[in-house]
Amino acid sequence: MLFTSIEFFIFLPIVFALYWLLNRHTKWQNLLVVVASYLFYGWWDWRFLLLIAFTSACSYVSGLLIGNGRWRKTALWGNIIVNLDILGLFKYYNFFAAELANLLGCSGDSVMLHLILPVGISFYTFQALSYSIDVYRGKMEPTRDVVAFFAYVSFFPQLVAGPIERATNLLPQFQRQRKFDYSMAVDGVRQMLWGFFKKVVVADNCAVFVDDIWANISGQSSLNLAMAAVLFSIQIYCDFSGYSDIAIGCAKLFGIRLMRNFKAPYFSRDIAEFWRRWHISLTTWFRDYVYIPLGGSRVSKVKVVRNTFVIFLVSGLWHGANWTFLAWGAFHALLFLPLILLGKNRKYTDTIAQGRWLPSLKELGQILLTFVLTALGWILFRSQSIGEAIDFYTGLVSGGWSGFNPPMRTLVFVALLLAVEWLQREREHGLDMSGIRYRAVRYTCYLAVLAVIFVYGVFNETFIYFQF
């Protein structure tokens, strides 16, 4: 079920009403969450439910065994291996089997399995694994409340595209009584509204131009290709962060707080700051469960280089079974490496131009350079093959200057987005107007955004990150 579908707009108020009718009955609320979440997820294909139920059961049982003390390491690694094997089978088997077959001179078709990639399998697998690891590390006690645990893994707002929550944050919220918080719910609706604007107005309008250009790279001018690279950078940000805003806002309706997943990443002053602000739930997951266990930055320079490449290559591979994703990860590792070797990877941890209306010229230059480097990397991410990416890069420098057809209306939406996000960069979302006293001004803004969504929204029937 998509957030932008009619079915969801029928589903959400029904679940919301039933949920709060069960107020003070936490276990029944949790059971409703599980049932609603399984309905939400099974809307695509009921067979997907078998996988998420199996993943949840394995992680729940592993937590109990770890807590028992006798089988701690076996239970942990057994759960990790089982779940990563499932993830690898569905997501990576065909890619690596075909590559190996081609290397051996065999037909790739002979080893392919006709498997449907379950939506969001990477997200809920990582969320379930973090529970087992945190129990093993002693960060939390294993839960015996199976319903609360299944609700934690399957909570429908963030089930298929995150944020990837930690059990230490989300699970306790399902284990305690929730009370309806009117101000929290209203803010959730505002955040959902901003998420829909980013998704259907900005991202999906950008997609129209981007898809047209990418379908005929060889016939495009350098300017059109450059514009496509810029607009795809905006598209993927608004598509994914828009989903995250809808998910986080929707969770607030149920008295649940999810972690923030994006913090104005395109206002970053270097690549390290970009990665602290982009897909925060995934980058911190890899930091805590992969990078730091490898030694992080507190090892020799050679191992720091190794760890940096491991984390970015794994991140690239997480996004999909394609050499383009690995190349995208390696590209960012190369950009990140000088900063971490020079000890400048945490130079910018504050909000840019804090307390000022505008950035300095130096900050503006840093923002533009970081954005250009990021956009060049997104070309790899968007391309279907390394060859297609090379054609795109070649066209950027040799495609000529004629035939430039920028989508002016889309550029207006992008400019509006950037202006709002700049002004609201210290707040959780673009429609957080708690600082504006006059209700008439606030509601005029809300109605204006709603009108733009209905008039100019494209309502593309997908989210980019569903494929991951």
The catalytic position among 279, 319, 332, 429 is: 319
87 is written with which tokens?
């993830």
- Sort residue 204 into left (φ over 0), alpha (ψ -120 to 50) or beta: alpha
Burial code of 380-393, b = ≥16 C-beta within 10 A, e = fewer? bbbbeeeebbeebb
SS3 388: helix
430 is written with which tokens?
């673009």
Q: Report the C-alpha gap between 173 and 177 in whole angstroms.
A: 8
**Residues contacting residue 321 through CB under 8 Å, at least 6 positions apart:** 91, 92, 94, 95, 96
**Residues contacting residue 287 through CB under 8 Å, at least 6 positions apart:** 296, 311
Q: Tell me, what amino acid is at 321?
A: A
The DSSP output letter for 429 is: S
212 is written with which tokens?
């047209």
206 is written with which tokens?
């950008």
Cβ-based neighbour number of residue 432 at 10 Å: 15
State the Cα angle at 180 between 177 and 183, rounded to 5°: 135
Q: Report the C-alpha gap between 68 and 142 in whole angstroms.
A: 9
- Is residue 279 part of the annotated active site? The answer reads no
Taking every pair of C-alpha atoms in the chain, what is the biggest distance, in angstroms? 71
HSE at residue 81, side-chain half, CA atoms within 13 A, is: 6
Residue with structure tokens 């994703």?
A: 325
Residue with structure tokens 């469960």?
A: 289
Instruction: Provide the sign of the torsion angle of the four alpha carbons 30, 36, 42, 46, taken in this order.
Output: positive
Asked if residues 112 and 106 have their Cβ atoms less than 8 Å apart, the reply is no
SS3 118: coil
363 is written with which tokens?
């900050």
Asked if residues 307 and 294 have their Cβ atoms less than 8 Å apart, the reply is yes
Cβ-based neighbour number of residue 115 at 10 Å: 11
Asked if residues 331 and 337 have their Cβ atoms less than 8 Å apart, the reply is no
Q: Report the C-alpha gap between 276 and 286 in whole angstroms.
A: 12
State the Cα angle at 288 between 346 and 328, rounded to 5°: 70
Active-site residues, by number, are 319
